Amino acid sequence: MSSVLPPPLAAGPADHRETSPWFWVLAGFAAKYGPLYTSASTGIWQSDDHAHGALILGVIVWLFWRIHRPLVELPSRPTPLAGWSLFGFGMLLYLLGRIGKISILEFGSQPFVVGGVLLLIKGPAALRLAWFPLFYFIFMIPLPGTFVDAITGPLKQWISVIVVEVLYSVGYPIARTGVMLTVGRYEMLVADACSGLHSMYSLTALGTLFMYIMARGSRLHNALMLISIPPIAFVANIVRVIILVLITYHFGDAAGQGFLHGGAGMVLMLVALTGFFALDALLATVLGRPARRPSPQ
C-alpha cells in the first residue's frame, strides 16, 4: 500500500527559504536604526514639535505588517542594479547624517534603504506593493529649521488675526498687538508651538493615513481629499487656540496652561478626524461611491 506525502509537509522547507531572508533584513534594520530610534526617544521625540515621531514609527510597523503576507508570497524577480543603487544612496545619506549628526539625513535614508532591499529580494512588484509604507517614512523626518523659521512667523500672524476676529465677533473683550493676545485681564503669546506648523505636519500624516485606509477608488475624490488636508489641519489648530483662549478667560491662566499640555493634542486630532470624515462622506455623496481598492491582505 503506497503513501503520499502531505502537501503541507512538502511545502515546509520552501516556506522556510521564503521567510529566512526577511529575518536577516529585520535584524540588519534593527541593528542599523535601533541606535537612531533610541537616541530620538530620549531626544527630539521628547519635544512637543517632534513627539509624533514615535507614533509614525508605530504606524509604519503596522503598515508593513499589514502587507507582510502578500509581500512574502510575491515571486522573486530581483533587480540588482536598481536595488544596490537605491540601497547605496540610502547608506550614503545615513553615513553623512551619522557623521555630521544631521537627523534629517539619518531619518531620510530609511525609505531608500528599505526600497533598495525590496528590489534586491523581490523586485519592482515589492515597491508597488509597499509604496505607502515607504512614503510614510517622510513623516519621521524632522522639518528643516530654515523652513520652520520662514513659515512660523506668517502662521502666527494669521492665527492671531483669525482668533481675535472670531472671538471679538461673539462679544469677547479681546485684542491683539502682533502675536500678543489680550483677553480680559490675561495676556497670551501665540508662541511658535501655537503656530501649528508641526501640528499641521503631524495632521497631514494622519490625513494621508486616513485616505490610505479608506481606499477610495475615485482619483478626483482622492485629489480633493489630499489638497484639503492642510486647510483642515490649519482649521483644527485655530480651534485649539480658540479653546485655549476661552479656557484661560473663564477659568484662569493655570487652567489654560493645563489644557495646553494635556488636552491640546486630543482636540487637534478630534477636530481633524471630524473634518476628514465629514469631507470624505460629502465627496462620496456628491461624486458617488466607487468600489474601494482591494486590501493588500
**What's the pLDDT tens digit per position in 212-221?**
998 888 889 9
Task: Answer yes or no: is 296 within a domain.
Answer: no
Q: Give the lowest-confidence range in 86-100, 185-199, 278-292.
A: 185-199
More confident: 268 or 134: 134
pLDDT in tens, 191-200: 655 556 777 8
**Pair 160, 279 in one domain:** yes
Cα diameter, the chain = 96
Structural domain including 56 reads 7-140
Return the pLDDT at 13.
46
Residues 282, 150 within the same domain: yes
**Is the model more confident about 217 or about 88?**
88
In one letter, which amino acid is 205?
A: A
Options 128, 185, 194, 292, the catalytic residue: 194
Please indicate, yes or no, whether residues 114 and 14 belong to a single structural domain of this protein.
yes
User: Into how many domains does the chain fold?
Assistant: 2
Q: Does the structure show a pLDDT above 80 at 248?
A: yes
For residue 220, the number of C-alpha atoms closer than 13 Å in the C-beta half-sphere is 8
- Report if pTM > 0.85: no
Q: Identify whether residues 89 and 186 lie together within a single domain.
A: no
- The stretch 71-78 carries a mean pLDDT of 92
pLDDT at residue 266, rounded to an integer: 79
In terms of Cα–Cα distance, which of 67, 52, 48, 80 is closest to 262? 48
Name the more confident of 209 and 155.
209
pLDDT of residue 8: 47
Residue 184 confidence class, pLDDT cut points 50, 70, 90: confident
Residue 135: the pLDDT is 96
5-62 tens-digit pLDDT? 444 444 444 455 556 678 888 898 999 999 999 999 888 888 767 778 889 999 999 9
> Would you say residue 292 has pLDDT above 90?
no
Same domain, 68 and 15: yes
In percent, the amount of the chain with pLDDT more than 90 equals 43
My answer on whether 134 and 177 are in the same domain is no
Active site annotation includes 194: yes
Answer yes or no: is 2 within a domain.
no
- Residue 270's pLDDT band, with cuts at 50, 70 and 90, is confident
The catalytic position among 77, 240, 292, 293 is 240
Q: Is 240 a catalytic residue?
A: yes
**CB-CB contact of 296 with 265 (8 Å):** no
- The tens digit of pLDDT for each residue in 158-182 reads 888 899 999 999 999 998 888 788 8
Query: Is 294 domain-assigned?
Result: no
Flag whether 1 is in a domain. Answer: no
Residue that the C-alpha cell 475624490 belongs to: 221
List all residues 6 or more positions away from 143 whose beta carbon is below 8 Å from its beta carbon. 197, 198, 201
Query: Distance between CA 289 and CA 109 in Å, rounded?
Result: 38
- The answer to whether the Cα torsion of 60, 65, 66, 70 is positive or negative is positive
Q: Give buried/exposed letters for 249-287 (b at 16+ CB in 10 A, else e).
A: beeeeeebeebbeeebbebbeebbbebbeebbeebeeee
User: Residue 40 CA to chain centroid, in angstroms?
Assistant: 16
Please indicate, yes or no, whether residues 157 and 95 belong to a single structural domain of this protein. Answer: no
Please report the pLDDT score of residue 10 as a whole number: 45
**What would the grid cell of residue 60 be?**
509604519
Domain-ending residue, one of 140, 161, 176: 140
At 193 the pLDDT is 53
The residue among 190, 195, 193, 183 whose CA lies nearest residue 248 is: 183
